Structure 1
Amino acid sequence: MSELSEKQKMLAGEEYFPSNKVLQQERFLAKTRCHAFNTADPKNQKTALKALRSLFGSASYFWLEPSFNCDYGYNIHLGKNFYTNYGVVILDAAPVCIGDDVLLAPHVLISTATHPLDPLKRKKGIETAHPITIGNGVWVGMGAKILPGVTIGDNAIIGAGAVVNKDVLANTVVAGVPAKLIKHI
């Protein structure tokens, strides 16, 4: 029986070493493509977006404002009419599945990556990653943070600056640190 590679462990949600050579090379490729997109002449933004599209696992029609950064790209799956404003970061060590008609305000952070509670494991550089799912019609406010393992239901609104550490029901508004239900829509 063969041992799983660090990438296979990462994708399976198991503990893995992100400093593995293969994962480092894949992050370098993503950084290179994000850098090219982020530094493109605004007159050439459509061309830069096409080059960035090849980084994603899947994508329909989308528009990203620079700067945009991600870890790998291939774990990002975008629905139709996806829009990100300036300064969005998606740390995609696990799948990030985003539905149709989703809007991300400036400086949103979506992170699937986390570190163990055990300080000895952290010292060794171990990480884990948990998928994030964002439904259709979601609006994520400025500076919000979506933490590992969260699912956000259709048409939900995430208030500016919120830290979402638990699932969000469809047709609700959440805000605060940590995010709490404000109202049903």
Structure 2
Amino acid sequence: MSKDPEYDRMLAGELYITDRIQQANREWPGKRLVQRINQLPADDLAGIIALEQKLFAGTHPDLYVQPPFEVDYGKHIKIGNHFYCNANAMFLDTNWITIGDNVKIGPRVNLLTAGHPIDAATRVSLLEFAKPIVIGNNTWLGGNVTVLPGVTIGNNVVIGAGAVVTHDIPDNVVAVGNPARVLREIGEADRARWQQEAEEYWAWREDSATPATTDNPHQ
């Protein structure tokens, strides 16, 4: 517990009022850092990654979020190994966003921990809440996906483009739609197909000795 009860309530998922959070716990440092990142030249990969390492919690060397993007705090985002996120993401981290290893996120994805009361009278009093989001290992979120407060997405999951994820998604499935629903399980046929195509690719690379065309391992 901190000495800031309003901030503690926010991270506990209870109703709170943003303007009552003490200045030391407000979101401004993270927002200023993201402004710096978004203003860097697109090819300054080392500069971008260095600042992103300062922004996010639990980061690792293989991290890249394509600018521009936005956060609320930034420091409430915990990222695993081998993370790539395409441009125009919104990480609304008024509660924790926890992302596992080997996660890929498409463009214009929204991870939204913040919410507001359904009752109008309560909502206009400035009370709000935030619930954590968890994304499991080896998961891919397609473009324009929105994940709502309190959702956990499992391991080895694919969320189809444009989906709105309103409830938990289990491991090893493809989920699509608004609200997102499980379309099917990911099975042995999927693994066999894509592993065969990957083997064909690596054999082609070995035969052709094709040189690398980019210094960015995430593109």
The alignment partner of 1:126 has SS state of coil
Structure with greater contact order relative to length (CA < 8 Å, sep ≥ 6): 1
Aligned residue for 1:128? 129
Contact 1:18–1:24 (8 Å) recurs in 2: no
Q: How many residues align?
A: 184
Aligned residue for 2:30? 30
Query: Relative to structure 2, which stretch is displaced further, 19-28 or 31-40?
Result: 19-28
Contact 1:15–1:128 (8 Å) recurs in 2: yes
**Given residue 67 of structure 1, which amino acid in structure 2 is its aligned partner?**
P
Deviation at 1:42, TM superposition (A): 2.3
Q: Which has the higher strand share?
A: 1
Aligned residue for 2:67? 66
Classify 1:101/1:167 alpha carbon distance in 2 versus 1 (closer, same or farther; 3 Å): same
Aligned residue for 1:49? 49
Classify 1:26/1:46 alpha carbon distance in 2 versus 1 (closer, same or farther; 3 Å): farther
After superposition, residues 1-185 of structure 1 pair within 5 angstroms as 5-20=5-20, 22=22, 26-60=26-60, 61-185=62-186
Query: Relative to structure 2, which stretch is displaced further, 55-64 or 33-42?
Result: 55-64
Query: Relative to structure 2, which stretch is displaced further, 89-98 or 53-62?
Result: 53-62
Classify 1:72/1:95 alpha carbon distance in 2 versus 1 (closer, same or farther; 3 Å): same
Classify 1:117/1:30 alpha carbon distance in 2 versus 1 (closer, same or farther; 3 Å): same
The 1-side partners of 2:131 and 2:167 are apart by 12
Query: Relative to structure 2, which stretch is displaced further, 126-135 or 20-29?
Result: 20-29
Contact 1:139–1:156 (8 Å) recurs in 2: yes
TM (norm. structure 1) is 0.93
TM (norm. structure 2) is 0.79
Deviation at 1:73, TM superposition (A): 1.1
The 1-side partners of 2:43 and 2:143 are apart by 26
Deviation at 1:55, TM superposition (A): 2.0
Query: Relative to structure 2, which stretch is displaced further, 94-103 or 39-48?
Result: 39-48
The 2-side partners of 1:145 and 1:125 are apart by 24
The alignment partner of 1:63 has SS state of strand
**Given residue 27 of structure 2, which amino acid in structure 1 is its aligned partner?**
R
The 1-side partners of 2:49 and 2:68 are apart by 12
Q: Deviations over 1:73-120 (max 9, x none)?
A: 111000000100010111011111100000000000000000011212
The 1-side partners of 2:42 and 2:152 are apart by 34
Contact 1:7–1:23 (8 Å) recurs in 2: no
The 1-side partners of 2:65 and 2:54 are apart by 14
TM-align CA RMSD: 1.8
The 1-side partners of 2:112 and 2:86 are apart by 17
Contiguous gaps of at least 5 residues in structure 1? none
The alignment partner of 2:44 has SS state of helix
Contiguous gaps of at least 5 residues in structure 2? 187-219
The 1-side partners of 2:23 and 2:79 are apart by 22
The 1-side partners of 2:105 and 2:22 are apart by 30
**Given residue 12 of structure 2, which amino acid in structure 1 is its aligned partner?**
A
The 2-side partners of 1:103 and 1:27 are apart by 25
The alignment partner of 1:19 has SS state of helix
